[in-house]
């Protein structure tokens, strides 16, 4: 399906890739490479499970329409530059606008994010009325625990044990900080590095990805059906 336009809460419009229609909603939150083929393929996959999926362009204020890969150093440098200049507060506002757009037709809406998107999915669980949230190897979650008490809906975290961007001490803080929260389920993947579920990526591991994706599918079926 073609990209759609969504009105930002602070003015202007941004695009979102849409896949599927007529089912419960999912806000799919991008990695640092933009709404690229990886994200569009993920959106198509969730749509095949019966969901209406929107993947918004969170970098539109910096450079709209980013679609780069993880294959070259130049693209990694570009991705980290985008991440450095990304305003996360405005990003959350754009995700809430996307959530509101989906709620016009979908009675329940969840979100799922990867890497940067995994962080943003956790923030959505803390700061919005999203019905459920899934985070794949979210970065910097240990710095977001102060608002964890605001989580009132189901959350699932997929954490890579050997994540190069999330050291063991940060993972321990997350485990200890959320272990008493009845709304949060954490899954740790032994030996896996960051982005183990990114098809075609350097650290892709089919077994771990399939396990995480099955858990996510069951989680959405339970909480969005």
C-beta separation of 203 from 195 below 8 A: yes
- The residue from 194, 203, 210, 218 that is catalytic is 194
pLDDT at 1 over 80: no
Give the domain ranges of the chain: 3-224
From CA 47, how far away is CA 109, in angstroms rounded?
A: 13
- Residue 189 has, within 13 A of its CA and on its CB side, a CA count of 26
CATH class of 3-224: alpha beta
C-beta separation of 224 from 24 below 8 A: yes
Give the count of beta carbons closer than 10 Å to the beta carbon of residue 146.
9
Name residues whose C-beta falls within 8 Å of residue 13's C-beta, 6 or more positions apart in sequence.
5, 6, 7
Name the nearest CA neighbour of 119 among 159, 79, 150, 85: 159
C-alpha dihedral, 19 to 30 to 160 to 172, nearest 10°: -130
pLDDT digits (tens, 9 = 90+) for 119-165: 999 999 999 999 999 999 999 999 999 999 999 999 999 999 999 99
For the question of residue 158 being annotated catalytic, the response is no
For the question of residue 183 being annotated catalytic, the response is no
pLDDT score of 8: 97
pLDDT digits (tens, 9 = 90+) for 152-207: 999 999 999 999 999 999 999 999 999 999 999 999 999 999 999 999 999 999 99
pLDDT score of 225: 85
Tokens matching residue 5: 């336009």
Strand, helix or coil for residue 149: helix
pLDDT score of 108: 97
pLDDT score of 96: 98
- The residue from 131, 163, 193, 203 that is catalytic is 163
Strand, helix or coil for residue 126: helix
């Amino acid at each position: 399906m073609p990209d759609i336009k969504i009105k930002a809460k602070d003015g202007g419009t941004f695009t979102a890739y849409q896949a599927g229609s007529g089912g419960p909603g999912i806000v799919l939150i991008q990695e640092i490479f933009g709404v690229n083929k990886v994200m569009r393929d993920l959106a198509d996959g969730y749509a095949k499970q019966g969901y209406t999926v929107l993947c918004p362009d969170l970098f539109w204020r910096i450079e709209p329409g980013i679609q780069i890969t993880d294959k070259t150093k130049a693209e990694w440098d570009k991705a980290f530059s985008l991440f450095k200049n990304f305003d996360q507060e405005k990003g959350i506002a754009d995700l809430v606008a996307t959530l509101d757009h989906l709620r016009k037709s979908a009675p329940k809406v969840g979100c799922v994010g990867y890497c940067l998107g995994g962080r943003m999915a956790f923030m959505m669980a803390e700061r919005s009325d999203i019905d459920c949230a899934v985070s794949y190897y979210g970065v910097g979650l240990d710095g977001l625990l102060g608002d964890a008490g605001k989580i009132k809906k189901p959350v699932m975290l997929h954490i890579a044990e050997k994540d190069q961007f999330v050291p063991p001490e940060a993972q321990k803080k997350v485990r200890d900080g959320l272990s008493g929260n009845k709304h949060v389920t954490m899954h740790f993947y032994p030996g896996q590095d960051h982005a183990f579920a990114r098809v075609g990526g350097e650290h892709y591991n089919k077994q771990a990805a399939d396990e995480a994706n099955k858990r996510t599918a069951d989680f959405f079926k339970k909480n969005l059906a």
